[in-house]
Each structure stands twice: as C-alpha cells, then as structure tokens.
Structure 1
Amino acid sequence: MAELETRELEYFVAVAEELHFGHAAARLAIAQPALSKAIRRLESRLGVRLLERSSRHVALTPAGDALLHHGRHALNAVGAAAEKTRRAGDHQARLRLVIKPGGDANLLSGILAAYADRPDARQVDILFGGATDRADHVRDGRADVALLYAPFDDMTGLDHETLMVEGRVAILPPDHRLASRSEVTLADLAQETLPRWKGVRWTGAPEAGQGPEVTDAAEVLHMIRLGRTVALLPRSLAQPMQPDLVYRPVPDAPASELVLAWSQDDRRPLVASFVAAVAEASARSAGA
C-alpha cells in the first residue's frame, strides 16, 4: 500500500486550496516545477488523478476532493500531536480557553473565579475564535478547552460539560410578517430563509430555505436589516438586542446548550482541574 508523507500532503493541500500552482508554490516557498513534479509523483504512487489541469484552470477530481478532506485532518492531527506533546512536558503551561466574542452568556467571570480558587490553578489565557472554528482550536492543540454551542458546533473527538440550556429566538426586521406575533414557531420559519453559517450545515429549522453564507453575528444582523434573511439563535447569542430589530421566542425550537469542551484523549491534570472547577461551579449555580 502506498504511504503518504506529511510534506506531500502539505504540498497537495496547498495546491487544492489555491487551485493554482503558482500561488501554491509561493505559499510553500518552493519552485513551481518542483511542486508540479511532486504532485505528479503523488498521483503516480496513489494510482489516481487528483487534479484536472489545463493552461488556465486547475480543478479537483473526486479523488482529489477526498484527499483534501482527509489530508487536512491528517495534517491537523500531526500538528496537534506535536503541540500536545510539547505542552504535556511543560509543567508551567498556562491553560488556554477559546471563546467566541460575546459567546460566554456572561458565565466567564464566574468560571474563572471558580478555577482561581483551586490550589493547582494556573494562569488562563483567553483566545478568541470565530463563529465555527473554536472546536478545531481544541482538536489541533491551539487551545486546551473551549466554550461551544451544541448542537451547532462539531463535537467530534471532544468531551464536554453542559453549563447552560437555553431556548432560541427569531430575529426579524420590524416590517416582517411575523414581527407582530408575541412568539413564532418552527412551522412559521419553514417559510423563511435562514443564513448558512460557514462550516455549519445545521440551521436549527430543517425545512427553512438556505440563505446567504455568514461568518459572524454582525453579518447576520446586516443581512436581516437588508431583508435577505431572518435568524434563529440561542437567546444568549442574541444579546445585546438591537433596537431596530425584533426578537421573538421560538418555544418549539430544540434547546441550545452552552458547553465547556476538551479533547477526549486529553488526560492532563491542567485540563482535568479546570473541568472539575467548572462542573462544581455549574452544579452550585443550578442548585441555587
């Protein structure tokens, strides 16, 4: 069976993402002829064509699309292995928590306070991720733990502790046909167009139309104001409410969970202590 080398995967992924040999060569800081030769050699060893080439066009074949998908994961895994190994040997390592700006439902201060009370507490570095890439930060080792929203974020390979369960709200322009209602239903939203979050397939309203692709809440609100879409968001992510938009609860929408997530194979005391502190704080809050 033909084996793949990390460098070959890096070369191929660069070409597949750029779909241009010149741009990929510049990105990799190698000569274009050497890159072309490496890709041809890879195709020969695998026995499949990965790219369709012409003088003006480069496109992925089905085999190339598959290798791009799996190759990205493989490169992330290699990088994560190196990073996690380094951090496992660093006894003074800080804990890195990745969050979405405004995506902590005002729980972050309490979480940090609960952890700071533990005798083995370390410095916590707060990292900011995008709307859909925070789970990747944990999987590839850039962060130790993350605040995520289930079921929106991909939890593959992660364990988690639920911090809060909340309902969702529809965000509408003020002249929308549903704006006069005190609440709306998923059936109402089935006739609407909802945004497509980059990297997320699930909108929360299965029958709704697929609208413009967005990457953050600011883009969503802009599209709502333009009348291009409406949105269905966890209640905490709909804060602060904008005075020129209308917010209505959607009682029959599946609940959203704010969770603390970490890698399933991460057994470091650094992470275990933080998870335990957050779990204890969450239990006290629920009891109160």
Structure 2
Amino acid sequence: MADLETRNLRYFVAVAEELHFGRAAERLGIAQPPLSRAIKRLEARLGVELLARSGGRVTLTEAGEVFLRESRRALDAVAAAAHRAVRAGRGARRLVLTMKPGGDAGLLPAILAAYEAMPGALPVEIMAGAGDRSAPLRDGRADVGMLHSPYSDLEGLDAESLLVERQVVLLPTGHRLAARPWVRLSDLRGETMPPWPSRPVGSIAGQNVIDVGQLMQLIALGRTIAVVPESVRDVMRQDGVVCRPVLDAPPTTVVLAWQQDNCSTAVAAFVRAATEVAVRAAASPPAGVPATADA
C-alpha cells in the first residue's frame, strides 16, 4: 500500500468529525468537490469504505472509526515531532507543564520543590489556560500535564492519579440557589454553563470561556454558572460569586499525564516527585475551607 500523506489524514479527520462534507470543506478552506474526490481516492487506496453516505447523512463505518482514531494519533505524532524539534533547536532545555489555573489542587508548589531538588532537574515552564489541556501533550508543546479525570481526554497518554476531590458549583450571589448550603445536579437543569465535558446533563451550553477572569466575570454578572473541582475555587475568588458543594456530582481525580512514547528522564523524575508529594498529602491532608464558604 502506498504511503499516505498527512493531507489525506487531515481531510478524513475533518469529514469524520463534522460528518458533513460541506462543513468539513469550509473548515479546511477548500471546495467541497475536491474534498469528496480526495476521500473517495483514500477509500480506494485502502480498499475499505470509511464513510457511509445515505440520504444526505454521513456516518462512520467500523473501519472509519478505527481509521479516525489512528489518524488523530498519526497527526498528533507529526505535530509533536515538529514542536519537539523546534524546542530542541532553541538550545535551553526545559520541562513544560500544562494545566488549568488552579487545577493542581494545591499540590504544585510542593511538587516543584521536590522536583527541583533532584539532580539534573530542568527549569519548569508552566503553560496555563482554559480549554483542552491534553492537546499540548499530544502535539509536543508540553511534556507533562495536570489534568482532571474523567473529563480530560487521556487517550494516547500515560497518567498517574494524584488526588480525588469533590465538585462544587460557582454561583452569582443573587442566584436562586445561592442561599442553599448545598445543591444537587438536578437543581442545575436548565442553567447556562460553559460548554465543558463536565457540564451536567440538562444544562444549557453557554459561550466558550478563554480564562478564569472571564469566567468569574460572567458568573458575577449572572450570565453563567460553573461546576468545578473543589480546589479550583481557591483561585476563583471574586465579589459577587459564592461556592456551594454539589452533593451527587461524581468526584474528579487530579492526574499527572504525559505522552505514552515519552522516554524523557526529566519527565520520569517529575512524575516521581509528583507521586511522592501526593502520597504525603493524602497521609496528612491540610485543613480545608468549609464547603459552604463563599468563593
């Protein structure tokens, strides 16, 4: 079988994710007819049908499901090779950690101290932001990430669990639920929330959130609410916002993740430091803020 080009994979992934040739073509910035021809040529080269087309609907075949998963991995590997080469060419070596603001459950200062005390430790650069924090691990922009299971996509990554914590909801002070000491997921039906994987069933997807400051401003204005891990509230304090525990929300686990093919000794040392700190923290948890305290 002839070698496939990354363009073939990008075209297929776009169609497989959109399940619509017109939207995929618009996303790729090309016309629809050449995209359709490219997918047909790809199927002919592979000798299997990847997409079922019926009555204007596009669905993935079993072969298409497999090819989508593997195509994503291949594209991630190509992107990772490019990013790592660029980083290596810049000279100064460093370990890049990706995370959401406050997503370390308070463990990061001790982890950094433990890692930096190890022989040969590299300078640590922190890449913080909203959105999918697993993507930088896959495309090589970051070496390790502090993510939250089950909401982070851990496919293709190795991960070590660090800490399990409950979830809370952030509300504007004038909200109908703000006076309660706690809430349940059923109380949040019909509420507007950021379009995150953790958004409870029955809630309404609001606008995308770029950073913590924007989120807190939207909550204070009564434009949205958010369910977050309990530790995150420590960096989300703002006038006009309160925090209440969600009794029946599933717990989240803070995990340290890295790409499966990463054999870096620096990554291995950082993972070891993080797990040792997590074990000590579990043995002697710090006194927490009462769950009903205002955020």
TM-score (norm 1): 0.73
Contact 2:25 2:35 in 1 (8 A): no
Report the AA paired with residue 103 of structure 2. G
Give the whole-Å Cα distance in 2 for the aligned partners of 1:170 and 1:37. 48
Please tell me the residue identity of whatever aligns with 1:269.
T
CA shift in 2, pair 1:245/1:89, >3 Å: closer
1:167/1:253 contact within 8 Å kept:
yes
Residue in structure 2 matched with residue 235 of structure 1 by the alignment: 230
Partners in 2 of 1:87 and 1:72 — Cα distance?
22
Does structure 2 retain, via aligned residues, the 8 Å contact 1:120–1:273?
no
Tell me the SS of whatever aligns to 2:153.
coil
d(CA) in 2 for partners of 1:14 and 1:131? 20
Q: Any idea what SS the aligned residue of 2:206 has?
A: strand
177-186 or 220-229: which moved more? Answer: 220-229
* Partner SS, residue 19 of structure 1: helix
Q: Structure 2 CA distance, aligned partners of 1:250 and 1:150?
A: 17
Q: What amino acid does structure 1 have at the position aligned with 2:281?
A: S
Q: Which amino acid letter does the alignment assign opposite residue 211 of structure 1?
A: A
- State how 1:249-268 maps to structure 2 within 5 Å: 249-268=245-264
Equivalent pair of 1:166/1:257 in contact (CA under 8 Å): yes
Q: Which moved more, 1:209-218 or 1:119-128?
A: 209-218
1:274 partner amino acid: F
Counterparts in 2 of 1:240 and 1:224: CA distance versus 1, 3 Å: closer
Say if 1:171 and 1:276 are closer, same or farther in 2 by CA, change over 3 A: same
User: CA 1:75–1:113 in structure 2 vs 1: closer, same or farther (change >3 Å)?
Assistant: same
How far apart, CA to CA, are the structure 1 residues paired with 2:14 and 2:149? 31
Query: Structure 1's 219 and 60: CA in aligned 2 closer, same or farther, altered over 3 A?
Result: farther
Q: Aligned-pair distance for 1:151?
A: 1.9
> Structure 1 256/130 Cα, relative in aligned 2: closer, same or farther at 3 Å?
same
Q: How many Å separate the matches in 2 of 1:172 and 1:129?
A: 21
CA contact (8 A) 1:49 1:61 kept: no
TM-score, with length taken from structure 2: 0.71
Structure 1 unmatched ranges of 5 or more: 26-31, 53-58
Aligned to 1:121: 121
| CA–CA separation in structure 2 for the residues paired with 1:68 and 1:264 | 19
Identity, in percent, stands at 40
Matched, 1:195 2:200: no
The Cα shift of 1:252 comes to 2.8
Q: How many Å separate the matches in 1 of 2:236 and 2:194?
A: 22
Q: Which residue does 1:211 correspond to in 2?
A: 205
- Over 3 Å counting, the alpha-carbon distance change for 1:261 and 1:179 in structure 2 is same
- Is the 1:194–1:232 contact (alpha carbons within 8 Å) kept by the matching residues of 2? no
What's the C-alpha RMSD, in Å, of the aligned pairs? 3.9
| Structure 1 residues 241 and 87, CA gap change in structure 2 (3 angstroms) | closer
Structure 2 CA distance for partners of 1:37 and 1:233, relative to 1, 3 Å: closer
**Structure 2 residue ranges without an equivalent (≥5):** 16-20, 285-295
Change (3 A) 1:84 1:110: same
Relative distance call for 1:102 and 1:202 in structure 2 (3 A) is closer
Counterparts in 2 of 1:40 and 1:164: CA distance versus 1, 3 Å:
same
8 Å CA contact retained: 1:168, 1:249: yes
Per the alignment, do residues 38 and 163 of structure 1 end up closer, same or farther by CA in structure 2, a change over 3 Å counting? closer
Q: SS in structure 2 opposite 1:283? A: helix
Retained in 1: the 8 A contact 2:184–2:246?
Answer: yes
Please list, as runs of the form range in 1=range in 2, the aligned pairs for 1:1-288 lying within 5 A after superposition. Answer: 4-10=4-10, 19-20=25-26, 24=29, 40-41=37-38, 43-47=40-44, 62=59, 71-81=71-81, 93-132=93-132, 134-189=133-188, 191-197=189-195, 200-203=196-199, 205-206=200-201, 208-216=202-210, 217-238=212-233, 239-288=235-284
8 A contact 1:184–1:250 mirrored in 2: yes
The answer to whether the Cα contact below 8 Å between 2:99 and 2:145 also exists between their aligned partners in 1 is yes
Question: Cα gap change, 1:157/1:220 in structure 2, threshold over 3 Å: closer, same or farther?
Answer: same
Name the SS for the 1:214 alignment partner: coil
Deviations 1:138-189 (A, max 9, x none): 1222111011122221111222223332222122222222221111122322
Cα deviation, residue 272, structure 1:
0.8
Give the C-alpha shift of residue 276 in structure 1.
0.7
